[in-house]
Structure 1
């Protein structure tokens, strides 16, 4: 794995722990199909919990843009399409109906400062 891949994996690990800490159960990570990849699929607690498709952006502090700026309009469209595919292929294959709480797309940004602990930001409903 190259440095960029390792950085992304580290950020996804932090994001998964963060999401678990705020009450989401991670159902799947790095789901891939021909159209692309979903970093994390999670579900809010409770029967009426939403299905949450999470895009994770990890950046080192410094010369690169803030991770929250990494979600482009094109990526948002692709995430909606991927969420629909995941729902059809994985969720509806097990359950007869869509999630009671609907489907939401979130962005988790992980910023790695030069010193100190990583900063995790979670924005709900970005796309």
Structure 2
């Protein structure tokens, strides 16, 4: 599948679905209304960036929407992957202790998420 197989309107629908997946991931992992409301900032800034990117750099709107959608999906996957550690952090905070996520785990998840995003963007564009 290439990015041109969908229309611009369909890519906007994909972008809205990717935004909803990020909101769902944040709500599912943090179980906090404030975090969910704050997670609305990323899609809003992304939508503004898509429109600005399209106009300022002479790129197609579809390219910007593909990058935006894949970025949000990658971030949602990272949040879901880190959910067990989020629960440990919350449990330790309730009893007054701290929990530090192992650096190797953060690095592995980060590399996997970036690799996912790069591969999907290159496959689509």
On whether the aligned pair clears a TM of 0.5, the verdict is no
State the structure with bigger RCO (CA 8 A, min sep 6), 1 or 2. 2
Structure having the higher Rg: 2
Specify which structure has the higher proportion of strand.
Answer: 1
Specify which structure has the higher proportion of helix.
Answer: 2
